[in-house]
Chains A and B, each alone.
Chain A
Amino acid sequence: MKRGLVFYAVAAYLFLHVPLLILAVFSFNSSRFTMWQGFSLAWYREAFADRDLLESAANSLIIAIAATALATIVGTLAAYGLWKHSSGAASRAIAGSLYLSLVTPEIVTGISLLALFQWVFRFLNLRLGMHTVILAHVAFSVAYVVTVVMARLRTFDPALEEAALDLGASHYGAFFRVTLPYLAPGVAAAAMLAFTVSIDDYVITSLVAGVDSQTLPMAIYSLARKGVSPVLNAVSTLVVAGLGTVVLVSERLRAR
């Protein structure tokens, strides 16, 4: 049975990883057809010459950085507040709604935020754009931040904080000088996860984005709907390599 399990696991890992590897290999193919003709960087050159793709990549980076910063701050504070006081009604309500937001199907989150923005726009002279995308991304990534920071908090010894208080630190002083430094690897890991979910999101983003805020996933999606293209293979390879690096670093930090 043991050997069967090993064979199975090898097959399962191949299933999980080979499709992306094939995509990466063919992004270096000099032919645009699915026949290997020789090594070429032509599709990468073409991708970097595409103003539309570059602009949407820049938008994605701006959105992801802004959303990550906000979600990490809000999420870290909330995780600490919940950890300190998990039994209160407010805490239970926040924990419950964070949890619910995590299991809400993306399409539902997307249309509910769209409905919210359109309703607010009746009273304010605003339009869909980068700001609505950033707010939406903060909304769906904050639950990830809380989950990851909370996991780190569970390994924190509250006596350390009490010692700081006994030695005359204020609550804020104890938080910023004792607890937060301990949480740092968890917070960094949480930020990286928030960054990856933000930079990858298509479903919610496409609903709340305006004409001037096309993101990279939106550009990839509209290319993919037109069909397979070697330029898209090159873009995909770059995104996967970039995100893969972020995830590996984040996993390292989390394991610390």
Chain B
Amino acid sequence: MKRAKVNQGGDLQEYKDVYVIGECLDGRLHPVTLELMGEGRKLANQLKRHLGVILLGDDMDEALEHLQDYDTDVIYHLKHPLLKDFSTEGYVKVLNDFIRGNKPEILLIGATSFGRDIAPRLAGRLGTGLTADCTKLEIDPADGKLLQTRPAFGGNLMATIICPKNRPQMSTVRPGVMERAHKLGEGKAHLVTVIPELDAEDIRVALVEKKPPAKKQVNLIDARVVVSGGRGLKTPEGFRLIEDLADVLGGEVGSSRACVDAGWISHAHQVGQTGTTVRPEIYIACGISGAIQHLAGMSEADYVVAINKDPEAPIFKVCDYGIVGDLYEILPAMIEDYRKRKEEADHA
């Protein structure tokens, strides 16, 4: 295979439209797909271009019908039996052919573990730059180029990256950050089925088995309430109290990186730069000091509550409501009080 090169002085004007690559694996449409569509629409409107959604798979009528209700100009279904299961090489081959043929100006991919597997490989084959894990995308009003902003150095610094000489401009986009697409009404989006060329020999890694998630799924991304514990818990058992509060409020349990690193709780619970980004209505940080890398994962919460012994903890600068005190006293009092209120409301 001939290796692609960048900076070949190609005509950038040939590239038009904004494309996003949806993620639908094992029949499950990843929520980032709608977020990419929402963001893609915003960029396409600013550029006065069309928005296209690419979905790879074999038979996937349910997901396609669902997406057709949302705001996009066109959905491209790259349909092939060999695309039924995920493979880096199968996905990259058909995407490369399709993108080279259609020449979008901007290409967005979800920064999931699968998106971040294929995107660099695809950029490498197309001969263009890629910006990872973007949290903000804008069009430069001066020249229409894509400004791709992302956290670096553990969220201590934000960097805006550009890709001036190569197309498409490619970004992976952090899940949970962008606004989801609007519903337009049933089946409004135009569906185009594309049959790509793909041979079994193109795929050198075989998927042998799919394992279901081991434990009860932690669903931090969609949680309305997240109660998180940090180093201030002092012991791993402290998470029982966090769980109790999360349970009575109908929320999920989150954690700072320190507790995950200490082995107190699994990585699936980690909120922050190297964990999950959450956008709940209420985020309750208990015994969390508020390191920037943690704040990067929760700054989208509508309301932040901080409970910490240390009045100087940085978390108090970013909270809506703060309580300076011992979480082992405050949390049981909250649980008891909340239960009492609920009972009263139920009897009223």
Genuine A/B complex: no
